[in-house]
Structure 1
Amino acid sequence: MRQRDRFIDGLRALAILGVVSGHWLVGALVATPAGGLRIDSPMRHLEWLHPATWFLQMLGLFFLVGGYTAAQGLRRARERGETDAHWVRRRLWRIGRPVVAAAVILAVALPVLSLAGLGAGTARTTVVLFLQPLWFMGVYAVITALTPYALKLDRIGGLRVVLACAAAVAVVDLLRFGPDVEPVAVGYLSVLPAWFFAYQLGVSWSAGRVGPRVAAGLLAGGLAVFVFLLVVADYPVSLVSVPGSVRSNSNPPSLMVPALAAMQAGAALLLRARIERVLRRPRVWAAVTVLNLSAMSVFCWHQVALVGVSEVARRFGTLPGLGDVPADGGWVVARLAWYPVLGLVLAGLVVLVRRFENAPIEPPVNRAARV
């Protein structure tokens, strides 16, 4: 059995924790007079909270690790005679199976819970919060399907392909925010290159192209672009969408996304030895292992856990950090205090559904591989 790479698993776990913690922080569910829950966000009320998204938006690390592991996996599959197409199908099924399972379970459970007294508003909120993060799954699936071509591009262009992705996003940003502003829809042309940047960087990393000097360049270059966009180009501070805001760094993604991904990747690689020392601690490694084995299930169910806890709390009145309007720092402190409860509920949900993520996948087809 192949030994797990602690550093890779640690980065993936960190990325998932960032996503979950970020969603729980920026997503508020406010009790309504009709007895339901409506969606609000402290990002709408608390501008000073926006810089926190610089540390919680870690999807760049997730795509980096995804590119690295996919490239390694495809190379091994080719060595044992598996076709690229079959490897892609297996990979996509592994990614999509927890999503399909969650959708089916919710489709059955919500009508039953509605008959048992769950308000229509809360049911709608559950569906919306479940669906909202799935854009990420769709983009990740598309990019994963392009892995054979990512390996070919890396052989041809190396790190120049990574830079080309960032350049493509910069061109789209110029169309969005430049002197001749194009329609907002133009910004969605950057969705693929913005996220492919980190994935392709992971592919190059797996090929041995990202050493300490490149990592330092990623950190310095990403930081320089990040500061320039904030200070000179007047980009939004928040890395997530702010309700009511005209401009966004995430929907569609701006150049801030690959800049942050470059910073995170560079910092992580430069700190690899220290991170690995931390991961050698038995308790830390055990937690990282468990989280990696259920990463997609955690992603699918963390918002449902928030709705469940908020709905139960609503029945006891408006509790700080759950059913009240997120309009001050007290709400933030109270919400953070609820994290252990949210984590326990999420863990319970994952235990119930983890079989859908970790069940065996069909064996590979023994045919020649090539794209």
Structure 2
Amino acid sequence: MSLALLSPLRDTVRTIDARTPAHRDRAIDGLRALALLAVPTGHWLLGGFTLDADGALHNASPLTAVGGLAPASWVLQMLGIFFLVGGHASVLSFRRATGRGTSPGAWLGTRLARLGRPVLGVAAVCAALITVLSLLGVPEATLHTGATLVIQPLWFVGVYAVVTALTPYCLRAARRWGAWTAAPLLLAVAVVDYLRYGPFEAAMPSWLSLLNLLPGWLFAYQLGVCWGEKRLGRGAAWTLLAGGTALFAVLLLEFHYPASMVGVPGQARTNSHPPSLLVVALAAAQSGAAVLLRDRLARLLRRPALWAPVVVINLSAMTILCWHQTALLGLAVPASYLGGIPGLTLAPDSSGWVLARLAWLPVFAVVLVAISRATRRFEAPWSGVPGSRRTLAAVLAAAFAVFALRLA
């Protein structure tokens, strides 16, 4: 890269650093950025496609054939960190808002609007794209595959909205009992797992696992609230790290939980959607490590060159979450007309596919950046958007949800 190009980049990096308030917790932003990047990386690496005889795309996973890839999911499953820093950030935001006289309801409304606008935007755009692609002759199976991939990460937004609404109650509990408030949540998940995987498994209803949805993700969020309230110190962090790691190992080796942190086609049991006790154990270990590494990470992010990308990623958080699967599909759907392309449309059934997919990751990232330049507007307030356009977006989003859930 020439000096002429490097100079503006250096100026931008220095400007970002100079404009960062001294009180900004760079470690929390760094952890959030790390968790954000893990989402597209995990979906891009651990998800693939197969082509049927009609040239339609179907979802597939390299974990079915390459079992040795499962440990990668331990590293890439960082939603525990996301909920941890979410709880930390929410309690600080809530405290500032109420200190200014803002009501808890108004605070929550603002937070939920920030989450909802990008989701509504991506759903509306995808509904329009499905209509256009259908008219162009793209197979319906491909359209359903794409819709399920786009909607896949959006469940997180709904769960995150619910735990955010519980912030005032989490805060009261943290002030009274400290980090111990997370223990009943872990116990609740353990009880449900015992019922659905233990000696009474055959008699349990299929919906029982859904009971883990709230406590499974609220666990790390509650720890984050405690952290923000300074009720989660280094001693508790060491306990979380050691205890979470030990529980993780026991569940894998003695209770034979699936090794992958994400669902694998053909497996009767899954650790995700809703989370199992293995996911909570990993979140505990990750949370402990995050607290222990906070000061070191904060010092590292004092370097402008490292801090600038963290700022950019955080500013584009919902855009990354909502549109990263669209970046993958933007390449895979046209490529499906060319046949089996290694790492893209060829079946993910070998280690060679994994290597090919790793080579595709930078390409997906470039496409995501290009998409983000056009879609980041959905994260901004819609105050200037006419009511008719908002109504149209809502109708399109509802149509997309119906199509993605195969209710149409």
Question: TM-score scaled by structure 2?
Answer: 0.85
Structure 2 residue aligned with 1:130? 150
Separation (CA, whole Å) in 2 of partners of 1:9 and 1:149 = 24
Map 1:53-202 to 2 at 5 A: 53-181=73-201, 182-202=204-224
Task: Name the structure 2 match of 1:21.
Answer: 41
Task: Select 1:238's aligned residue among 238, 256, 260.
Answer: 260
Q: 1:226-259 deviations in whole A, cap 9, x for unaligned?
A: 1111111111111111111111111321111111
Q: Secondary structure at the match of 1:132?
A: helix
Q: Deviations over 1:30-81 (max 9, x none)?
A: 2333122111111222211112111010000000011011111011110000
Among residues 217, 223, 234, which one is paired with 2:245 in the alignment? 223
Paired letter, 1:89: G
Aligned residue type for 1:116: L
Q: Deviations over 1:325-353 (max 9, x none)?
A: 11110000000100010000011111111
Q: Distance in 1 between matches of 2:83 and 2:295?
A: 21
Aligned equivalents of 1:135, 1:110: Cα separation in 2: 20
SS at match of 2:58: strand
User: Following TM superposition, by how much is the alpha carbon of 1:278 offset from its aligned partner in structure 2, in angstroms?
Assistant: 3.0
**Greater per-residue helix proportion:** 2
**Residue identity in the other structure for 2:150:** F
Number of equivalenced pairs: 362
Report the CA distance shift for 1:361/1:202 in structure 2 as closer, same or farther (over 3 A): farther
Structure 1 stretches of 5 or more lacking a match?
363-371
Q: What is the TM-score normalised by the length of structure 1?
A: 0.93
Deviation at residue 117 of structure 1 after TM alignment: 4.2
Partner of 2:271: 249
Measured in 2, the distance between the counterparts of 1:138 and 1:230 equals: 29
Unaligned runs of 5+ in 2: 1-18, 385-408
Residue type at the aligned position of 2:240: L
8, 31, 35: which one pairs with 1:11?
A: 31
The whole-number CA distance in structure 1 between the counterparts of 2:122 and 2:163 is 22
| Residues 159 and 204 in structure 1, CA contact (< 8 A), matched pair in contact too | yes
| Equivalent in the alignment of 2:330 | 308
- For 1:321-360, what aligned pairs fall within 5 Å after superposition? 321-359=343-381
What percent identity do the matched residue pairs reach?
Answer: 51
The alpha-carbon deviation at position 199 of structure 1 amounts to: 0.2
Task: For 1:107, give the aligned amino acid.
Answer: A
Distance 2:131 2:71 in 1: 39
Measure, in 2, the Cα distance between the counterparts of 1:296 and 1:285.
Answer: 19
255-264 or 29-38: bigger deviation:
29-38
- CA shift, 1:360, in A, is 7.5
For 2:305, give the aligned amino acid.
Answer: R
Q: Distance in 1 between matches of 2:325 and 2:54?
A: 22
Q: Which amino acid aligns with 2:113?
A: W
Report deviation, 1:361.
7.6
Whether the 8 Å contact between 1:30 and 1:322 is mirrored in structure 2 is no
Mean Cα deviation higher: 317-326 or 195-204: 317-326
Q: CA RMSD in A?
A: 1.7
User: How far, CA to CA, are the matches of 1:41 and 1:179 in structure 2?
Assistant: 31
What secondary structure, in the 3-state scheme, does the structure 2 residue paired with 1:338 have?
helix
Match of 1:365 in 2: none
**Amino acid of the structure 1 residue aligned with 2:154:** L
Task: Report the Cα distance in structure 2 between the residues aligned to 1:195 and 1:331, rounded to whole angstroms.
Answer: 32
> For the structure 1 residues 317 and 180, does the alpha-carbon distance in structure 2 shift closer, same or farther, using more than 3 Å as the test?
closer
CA distance in 2, matches of 1:84, 1:228: 41
Supply the AA of the counterpart residue of 2:265.
P
2-side partners of 1:149 and 1:352: how far apart? 38
Cα deviation digits, residues 181-203 of structure 1 (max 9, x gap): 22332121111111000000000
